[in-house]
Amino acid sequence: MIGPRPAAYWQVAPLVAVLAGFVVFPLGAIVVASFWDYENYRLVPTFVLRNYAELFASHVTYVTYLHTILLAALAWACTLLLGFTVAYFLAFHVRTTIWRTVLFLLCTIPFWTSNIIRMIAWIPFLGRHGIVNSVLLATGLIGQPLEFLLFSDFAVVLAFVHLYTLFMVVPIFNSMMRIDRSLIEAAADGGATPWRVVREIVVPLSKPGMAIGSVFVVSLVMGDFVTVRLMGGGKSAAVGLMLANSLSLLQYPQAAAGAVVLLVVVLGIVGTILTMVDVRKEL
């Protein structure tokens, strides 16, 4: 067996140093802190399993995880469907590069303002006296304002879809652009309907893009707390929010234990996605 040349080690050294210093070390610190005890804001460096025991003993944890996973699943399904459709349109229906660029820029419009401003802007739109309710009331479609539009799970998922669809569009588009057009022509010549082309050629070959997009969306949603707090009106539970609460109450070891569990769960989900699809095809 021939090992890599010594120079190769030097080449990866900077990356290793950065990852060790800024990822491995902080994560290690969090894992260590999760076994510490705390007492009136003082951290007690010992080894206790109390933080994990409290976490797993509380039914709030399970309810919160279920709710977060539900939010993530809904956001994932919606962004995947939307992302695939948009990417398909961009890849197969828009012919010129200029138009593609223009339309891509349009997709990035939601990112031209800050996350917080975008979320606050939903309030006059979806609120009890907001635009949507006013229009529906004026047209006589509803007699009472729809309350579920704002400060609800619906609002949270809507904001997620608005925020994260682009993270699906880009990798799926990238996969689609690599599909050999002659494959599609051959299928069409062989008598395949457009729908069958999508099902048997486009979808299978875009899977790496879908997987990458899914990893983005799922990990972003699982760790989110700002969107859930603002769009859910502070009433919705989410794992990220639970961690933020512990942090603000200075219960660092508890927050650290929560973070470790969340990390394991998210890594599990990401791992599952990656075993289902060979993402390296993309690279």
Partner 1 sequence: MTDERRTPGGDDTKLTSRAPRVTRRAWLAGAAGAAFSASTLGRAPVVWAQRIKDVTLRQVGTGVSNINEIAQKVKEDLGLTLAMTALDSDAVVQRTVTQPRSYDIADIEYWMAKKVVPTGVLQPLDTSKIKLFDKMVPVFITGKLTPSSPVAQGTAPHTVEFVDGADSARFAKAPTRWATMIPTIYNADTLGIRPDLVKRKIESWTELLNPEFKGKASILNIPSIGIMDAAMVCEAAGRVKYVDKGNMTREEIDKTIATMIEAKKAGQFRAFWKTFDESVNLMASGEVVIQSMWSPAVTAVRAKGIPCFYAPLKEGYRAWAGGLGVAKHLTGLQRDAAYEYINWYLSGWVGAFLNRQGYYSAVLDTARQKMDPAEWDYWMEGKPAAKDIVDPFGKKIEAKGAVRDGGSFSERMGRVSCWNSVMDEDRYMVGKWNEFIAA
Site residues, partner 1 (CB under 8 A): 40-42, 58, 60, 63-64, 123-124, 127-129, 147, 150-151, 229, 233-235, 237, 242, 245, 247-250
Per the CB < 8 A criterion, the answer to whether 126 and 155 are in contact is yes
Nearer to partner 1, 58 or 272 (CB): 58
Q: Which helix (H) or strand (E) holds 242?
A: helix 239-248
Tokens linked to 55: 């976490």
At its nearest, how many Å lie between partner 1 and the CB of residue 234? 3
Nearest CB to partner 1, comparing residues 96 and 248 = 248
Q: Which is nearer to partner 1, 77 or 120 (CB)?
A: 120
Token reading at 274: 């990656």
> Quick one: 17 or 63, whose CB is closer to partner 1?
63
Least separation, in Å, of the C-beta of 78 and partner 1? 24
Instruction: State which residue, 147 or 180, has the beta carbon closest to partner 1.
Output: 147
Amino acid found at 257: A
Q: How far is the CB of 269 from partner 1 (least distance, A)?
A: 21
Pairing type for strands 37-39 and 42-44 reads: antiparallel
Give the nearest distance from C-beta 7 to partner 1 in angstroms: 44
For residue 49, what is the DSSP state?
A: -
Minimum separation from the CB atom of position 26 to partner 1 (A): 16
Residue the block writes with tokens 């200029």: 98
3-state secondary structure (DSSP) of residue 219:
helix
Residue 66 vs residues 62, 98, 161, 178, 222: alpha-carbon distances, Å: 6, 44, 19, 37, 11
